[in-house]
Amino acid sequence: MKKINKVLNYKLLVFIIFTLSLSTSYSQSIRVPKANLLNKLKVGNHNFVKNDLAKFDFLEQREVLSKGQHPETIIVTCSDSRVAPEYIYNTGLGELFVIRVAGNVVDDVALGSIEYAVEHLKAKQIVVMGHSACGAVTASLKGETESPYINSIIKIIKPAATEAKEKCHSDSEALMYAIKQNVINQIKIMHKSKIISEALESGEISIWGAIYNIASGQVEFIESNEQPDKQKGDSHD
Ligand SMILES: [Zn+2]
């Protein structure tokens, strides 16, 4: 029991430390335990929704980060100009390793970037974040275009679009369904990476799906590929 209390106290202390760090100034020296990383994003998003943002000293951050980067979270999201992860999660420099491509698709190049951040930068969680009113998903619902390059994006989203058209009765319903299913599908694609699969299996990383609402600013987390039995031992890292 004493040991459990000690762990709980430690978790509480860490939570207080990173909450204070969000409300005052950024400190590169604080590494948040993996179990609290998702909560850190939720707190940042809450600040963004309320427009009550933490301030950052970019002069200090650039100096600290010139010695190296240790981002803890990988964000895979859309190139849409309204979807800016550092604002949405109210983070400073060096916190998010961001991969942005239309439709938040995980192609081989994106997968290589994710692998790099997991293996070499020791990032601890991956968030695949789709968003409302996504143009790439809308295009995929309409079908292929004359551009082979745009089609390369559409093809990756197509399974979600096909499923949405089969199951939904209206265009707006199909769009929301496809946006969500596309996030789930991109998470599945990540499993073809040996590096990511092994990191997930060993509990070194967590993977989350999310949908960003461009009108409200709110992020809804919808999917987790975290290994349930690995979550308990996270507090020591
Ligand atoms: Zn989009």
**How far, in Å, is the centroid of ligand 1 from the Cα of 77?**
8
pLDDT at 225: 60
pLDDT at 223: 65
**How far, in Å, is the centroid of ligand 1 from the Cα of 114?**
19
**How far, in Å, is the centroid of ligand 1 from the Cα of 60?**
33
Residue ranges of alpha helices (H) inside 98-237 are 108-119, 135-142, 148-167, 171-190, 194-201
Range of the domain at 193: 2-236
**How far, in Å, is the centroid of ligand 1 from the Cα of 103?**
5
pLDDT at 224: 67
**How far, in Å, is the centroid of ligand 1 from the Cα of 203?**
30
- Give the whole-angstrom CA distance, residue 57 versus residue 123: 23
**How far, in Å, is the centroid of ligand 1 from the Cα of 82?**
9
**How far, in Å, is the centroid of ligand 1 from the Cα of 206?**
23
**How far, in Å, is the centroid of ligand 1 from the Cα of 16?**
35
Q: Work out how many domains the chain is built from and give that number.
A: 1
**How far, in Å, is the centroid of ligand 1 from the Cα of 110?**
16
**How far, in Å, is the centroid of ligand 1 from the Cα of 29?**
34
- Give the whole-angstrom CA distance, residue 136 versus residue 216: 20
**How far, in Å, is the centroid of ligand 1 from the Cα of 86?**
16
- Give the whole-angstrom CA distance, residue 87 versus residue 98: 12
For residue 148, give the CATH number of its domain: 3.40.1050.10
Which residue in 192, 147, 185 sits closest to 164, CA to CA?
185
pLDDT at 199: 96
Which residue in 126, 128, 129, 125 sits closest to 33, CA to CA?
125
Q: What is the pTM of this model?
A: 0.81
Whether the Cβ atoms of residue 77 and residue 157 lie closer than 8 Å to each other: no
Phi and psi of 94, rounded to 5°? 80, 5
- What residues in the chain have per-residue pLDDT under 70? 1-35, 223-237
